[in-house]
Amino acid sequence: MKNIKFYKMGEMPLEQHKVRVVQKLHLVPIAERLNAIEEAGFNTFKLTTRHVFLDMLTDSGTNAMSDQQVAAMFQADDAYAGSESFARLHQAVEDVLGKKYFLPAHQGRAAENIICKAFVKKGSIIPTNYHFTTTLAHILDNGGKVEELLCEGALDIKSDNPFKGNMDVEKLEACIQKHGAENIPFVRMEASTNLIGGQPFSISNLMDVRHVCDKYNIMLVLDASLLGENAYLVKQREDHWHENTLGDILKMMTNLADLVYFSARKLSSSRGGGICTNQKSLYSRMEALIPLYEGFLTYGGISVREIEAMAVGLRETLDETMISQSPSFIKYMVETLDKAGIPVVTPPGVLGCHVDAGQICSHLSQSEYPAGAFAAALYLISGVRGMERGTLSSIRDENGVEVLADAELVRLAIPRRVFTLSQINYVIDRVMWLYDHREYIGGLKFVYEPPVLRFFMGGLEATSDWPERLMAKFRKDFGDSL
Ligand SMILES: Cc1ncc(COP(=O)(O)O)c(C=O)c1O
């Protein structure tokens, strides 16, 4: 966001866009919300738009599109093979990400499927700054394992470390020595590490990781789904990069990686995904998998209209007024809650405001899913839908024992240019009320637990009548307010 100073209003984010198409919202009464969350098995993924007031589940596919993106969708070339739309996207990938070979995939996890099918085998070890749920699932599915090599203090909720997404390069060296370079098909760096609160890595850290990869001749893979925001925070926070353009920073980061993949649902405010590289040999190892799993090489399972929106969206990633909007709202929300003494991940990152439900619900054990319970409780008292990012989103080991998450977070996503500041203030207000009444929040237990990615469709129930008691307290305090 440009540095625009207010006269008497203090410091707050100022939108650099105007709203021209809107979608009506509905805040249904709390009794309806109680029914809805019970029917959804206390899983916010299973709520429907009809029952959600502010949808802060994710930024994935929910960022607002620009007028230019929507306009571009009308010029789509619906050819099965050799589409002009794909040619425009290919050019945008080359211009923005600096890679000349490009494979389209229908979304980020589809790109992960292709990469893992091509490179991961039984016994493979994938060192990463931190895993993402779908990445881990694909690595495990292909017989590999992940080694989390986060830097010291990355999981501290309250912190002033500007780059909590950095990889610990000493641990990386030790990991390679332990497992042998031949068992490590690639090292994975994720931009703005999703699961630990949208925290970025620095360019100097990426350079150090590259250096180790070169030393052992290991491929470096960059998950660029949140690369634009990572670049923005590098510009804000890292010495030597303050004066560079976002384009320079993005290219610097992608140049350091052998393979770059992304979810276009995030990176370019569209739907789709892809993999790009400058190495023909890497491209060739994956090429045949695209028609098998995705679609022909010039659409990869993505609608041509979305391909056009993706091409424009990728170029718009370089626009600082666009890319800074979500991080500046997140900063506002995080700092306001932090000042009020509510535990949230600091420093403010990207993607959303991450509330530490582990600390707030310290009366619950991790196996009672405090983050899931907090997300359900917040929905009940506000109509705001967040996402559990804790033990519910974790897995069971090969013996069926639950792997407790490193942190019990609830993510309140702030997709690009979707919410107004008064809506953010409403969320802050309701989080404050819930924090003051946190003793009302009880546990959850599974009644239906899918074997893979259980958090998406799993069904739970409350371990007591706490939702009813929370609703009664809300009514007492708020009267007839929704
Ligand atoms: C860092 C990261 N990688 C991969 C993915 C998977 O992308 P998609 O949801 O498009 O499959 C996501 C989605 O949220 C993500 O945040």
User: Catalytic site residue 132?
Assistant: yes
* Predicted pLDDT of residue 205: 98
Distance 176 CA to ligand 1 centre (A): 26
Ligand 1 atom having least distance to the Cα of 109: 11
End-to-end CA distance of the chain: 33
Distance 472 CA to ligand 1 centre (A): 38
List the structure tokens of 39: 């029917």
> Rounded to 10 degrees, what is the CA torsion of 444, 447, 453, 457?
-100
Residue 171: pLDDT over 70: yes
Per domain, the residue ranges of the chain are 30-59+322-478, 67-318
Ligand 1 atom having least distance to the Cα of 351: 16
Burial class of residue 421 (count of CB atoms within 10 Å of its CB; 0-12, 13-18, 19+) = middle
List the structure tokens of 339: 């000042």
With residue 467 as reference, give the H or E element that holds it: helix 466-478
DSSP at 167: B
Mutate to test the pocket of ligand 1, among 109, 116, 201, 350 (most ligand atoms within 8 A of CB): 109
The predicted-structure confidence for 349-379, as pLDDT tens digits, reads as follows 999 999 999 999 999 999 999 999 999 999 9
* Predicted pLDDT of residue 2: 58
**What is the dotted CATH code of the domain comprising 67-318?**
3.40.640.10
User: Catalytic site residue 266?
Assistant: yes
Residue 60 near residue 265 (C-beta atoms within 8 A): yes
* Angle in degrees, CA 362, 368, 370, rounded to 5: 45
Whole-angstrom CA distances from 2 to 279, 434, 464, 468 are: 38, 34, 49, 46
Q: Judge if the beta carbon of residue 107 lies within 6 A of ligand 1.
A: yes
Among candidate residues 448, 454, 481, 470, the one with its CA nearest the CA of residue 376: 470
295-302 mean pLDDT: 98
No. of helices (H) and no. of strands (E), the chain:
20, 14
Distance in angstroms (rounded) separating the CA atoms of residues 211 and 438: 47
Residue 1: pLDDT over 80: no
Distance in angstroms (rounded) separating the CA atoms of residues 25 and 51: 9
Residue 129 near residue 193 (C-beta atoms within 8 A): yes
User: Catalytic site residue 430?
Assistant: no
- For 403, other C-beta atoms within 10 Å of its C-beta total 10
Distance in angstroms (rounded) separating the CA atoms of residues 3 and 5: 6
Q: Judge if the beta carbon of residue 134 lies within 6 A of ligand 1.
A: yes
The predicted-structure confidence for 119-170, as pLDDT tens digits, reads as follows 999 999 999 999 999 999 999 999 999 999 999 999 999 999 999 999 999 9
Distance 52 CA to ligand 1 centre (A): 22
Pairing, β 145-148 against β 101-105:
unpaired
User: Catalytic site residue 80?
Assistant: yes
Residue 223 near residue 230 (C-beta atoms within 8 A): no
Ligand 1 atom having least distance to the Cα of 273: 10
What residue type is assigned to position 75 of the chain? Q
Of 3.20.20.70, 2.40.50.100, 3.90.1150.10, 3.10.20.30, the CATH number of 30-59+322-478 is: 3.90.1150.10
399-419 mean pLDDT: 96
- Closest Cα to atom 4 of ligand 1: 108
Same CATH fold assignment for domains 30-59+322-478 and 67-318:
no
Distance in angstroms (rounded) separating the CA atoms of residues 281 and 71: 37
* Angle in degrees, CA 54, 57, 62, rounded to 5: 80
Residue 4: pLDDT over 90: no
The predicted-structure confidence for 410-467, as pLDDT tens digits, reads as follows 999 999 999 999 999 999 999 999 999 999 999 999 999 999 899 999 999 999 999 9
Distance in angstroms (rounded) separating the CA atoms of residues 205 and 410: 28
233-247 mean pLDDT: 97
Distance in angstroms (rounded) separating the CA atoms of residues 288 and 302: 17
Distance in angstroms (rounded) separating the CA atoms of residues 413 and 350: 9
List the structure tokens of 456: 């998406």
Distance in angstroms (rounded) separating the CA atoms of residues 322 and 339: 27
Distance in angstroms (rounded) separating the CA atoms of residues 276 and 91: 12
Mutate to test the pocket of ligand 1, among 133, 139, 193, 225 (most ligand atoms within 8 A of CB): 225
Ligand 1 atom having least distance to the Cα of 193: 1
Distance in angstroms (rounded) separating the CA atoms of residues 216 and 475: 62
